[in-house]
Amino acid sequence: MIDINVIRNNPDIVRENIKKKFQDTKLELVDEVIELDIKNRKLKMEADGLRQKRNENSDKIGLLYREGKQEDAEVLKEEVKEINDKLIDMEKEEVELSTKIKEIMYKIPNFIDDSVPLGKDDAENVEIEKFGEPVVPDYEIPYHADIINNLSGLDKDSSGRTSGSGFYYLMGNIARLHSAMLSYARDFMINNGFTYCIPPFMIRSDVVSGVMSFEEMNNMMYKIEGEDLFLIGTSEHSMIGKFKDQAINENELPLMLTSYSPCFRKEVGAHGIEERGIYRVHQFEKQEMVVICKMEDAMDWYNKMWKFTVDFFRSLDVPVRTLECCSGDLADLKVKSCDIEAWSPRQQKYFEVGSCSTLGDAQARRLNIKAKGEGGNYLVATLNNTVLASPRGLIALIENNYNEDGSINVPEVLRPYMGGLEIIKQ
């Protein structure tokens, strides 16, 4: 959510930003906010005037009683009562107008960084840099589900019976490899100075609306029936929500946190749930990183954070590239974002395994997260980035470490988590 003062004082830059994101249907929201805001401020001024008059009359009533002017005092008492009745209606209208303004403001996208390329959708995202040499072996690499099945590591039939499509059982050494990657991701971030955290896996609606747009919420979140709780789609939601309504001491910034969680997503509007594979699923596990810092430090942290993910996958012998998200592919709260994509030797192309984003003060404004400094309190910047989302990351590792005989090499950094196992085979 942007500062309403920007809409009051310079609505044209808000409209221009909306156009850059190819969301022209939202242009009318700016005019709606301006109209409602004028009405609301006028109402507040009238109400403040009535409160002042009420207070003045209340002071006079006591004086009139002391002077024995009971009849005059009763007239003023009646006038105070009428003011109170009027204020009740006005205060109710103030709440309604403020709520309406807030709802509309939540739909207006955050300002994107000047460096973001303009484009309508993800087809216009821009490759930034490649890391590692993408290799295509001279033997065929089967579909990932077939590789895992041949190693007795996947059971989709049973998960179909228990849970339906979009779920899976991982078994044996493949399940162990999956867990090893997550444990290594945890330690990788701890070794880079981040504090490890396991957050709540459910959050309330006021936190959900604070960290994402309504459209994202409807497409992603599972609602717990009869409760004001949602299953998280990423631990970023809980981690940012942790600081709701808090004033963080300035000398504690930046806060560098890495969190583990299962994640749950409806995947509405996505490309569909695979019946055979585990690339797009309803449930997965994730190691995330979250940074809360001063606004002026946000872009430096953004560049540090995506590099951590690149280094992580390179340590697993997985070639990756970074892809700059264009304006039309940015979620409404994001200032700038890039995807980290892993090389698929089977498909001979890259696919997404992580995403790094800086959101400016949008989440902090919604959730009232501030830093406390000598000059007073101010809004902070929030950033998030995927270290590892598995099983998607597991697919990348398997394909890039697959041998012609159907076995999988275990990268050296994972072997301590696998009891020294160097190769997974039938």
The string of pLDDT tens digits covering residues 15-35 is: 999 999 999 999 999 999 999
Report whether 133 contacts 345 (CB < 8 A): no
Task: Give the bridge partners for 131, in sequence order.
Answer: 320
Secondary structure E strands in 187-280: 195-197, 202-203, 222-223, 230-231, 247-249, 255-264
Residue 271 has pLDDT above 70, yes or no: no
Q: CA 356, CA 275: separation in Å to the nearest integer?
A: 29
CA distance 306 to 384: 9
Which residues face 258 on adjacent strands? 196, 289
Q: Which CATH architecture has domain 122-424?
A: 2-Layer Sandwich (3.30)
Cα–Cα separations (whole angstroms), residue 139 to 135, 136, 307, 319, 406: 11, 8, 32, 18, 11
4-107 is classed in which CATH architecture? Orthogonal Bundle (1.10)
Instruction: Characterize 129-160 residue by residue with b for buried, 16 or more Cβ atoms within 10 angstroms of its Cβ, and e for exposed.
Output: eebbebeeeeeebeebbebbbebebbebeebe
Q: Would you place residue 10 in the very low, low, confident or very high pLDDT band (cuts 50, 70, 90)? A: very high
Residue 267 has pLDDT above 70, yes or no: yes
Q: What is the pLDDT of residue 274?
A: 62
pLDDT digits (tens, 9 = 90+) for 405-423: 999 999 999 999 999 999 9
- Give the pLDDT confidence of 357-393 residue by residue, as tens digits: 999 999 999 999 999 999 999 999 999 999 999 999 9
What is the per-residue pLDDT for 273?
Answer: 61
Give yes or no for a contact between 335 and 358, defined as CB atoms under 8 angstroms apart. Answer: yes
Q: Do the domains 122-424 and 4-107 match in fold?
A: no
Q: Does 65 have pLDDT greater than 90?
A: no
DSSP structural state of residue 402: B
- Do residues 307 and 295 touch, judged by C-beta distance below 8 A? no
Q: Check residue 423 and give its pLDDT.
A: 97
Average pLDDT, integer, range 170-198? 98
Using DSSP, state whether 313 is helix, strand or coil.
helix
In whole angstroms, what is the distance from residue 164 CA to residue 142 CA?
Answer: 25
| pLDDT recorded at residue 72 | 80
Tokens 């207006």, residue located: 108
**Predicted model pTM:** 0.90
Task: Break the chain into its structural domains and give their ranges.
Answer: 4-107, 122-424
- 269 has a pLDDT exceeding 70: no
Q: Give the pLDDT confidence score for residue 355 in this predicted structure.
A: 97
How confident is the model over 190-230, as pLDDT tens digits? 999 999 999 999 999 999 999 988 778 888 899 999 999 99
What pLDDT score was predicted for residue 67?
Answer: 81
User: What is the DSSP pairing of strand 370-373 with strand 247-249?
Assistant: parallel
pLDDT at 270: 52
CA dihedral for 13, 14, 19, 20, sign (positive or negative) = positive
CA dihedral 79, 82, 84, 86 (to 10 degrees): -140
- Please tell me the distance from the alpha carbon of residue 206 to that of residue 353, in angstroms, as a whole number: 29
Token reading at 296: 């002026």
Q: pLDDT (tens digit, 9 = 90+) per residue, 97-117?
A: 999 999 999 999 999 999 999
Distance, CA of 332 to CA of 64 (rounded, Å):
59
Classify residue 216 by burial, with Cβ atoms within 10 Å: 0-12, 13-18, 19+.
middle
**Is a pLDDT exceeding 90 seen at residue 178?**
yes
C-beta separation of 50 from 80 below 8 A: no
Sequence-distant (6+) residues with CB within 8 A of 418 are 173, 176, 177, 180, 410
**Overall average pLDDT of the 250-254 stretch:** 97
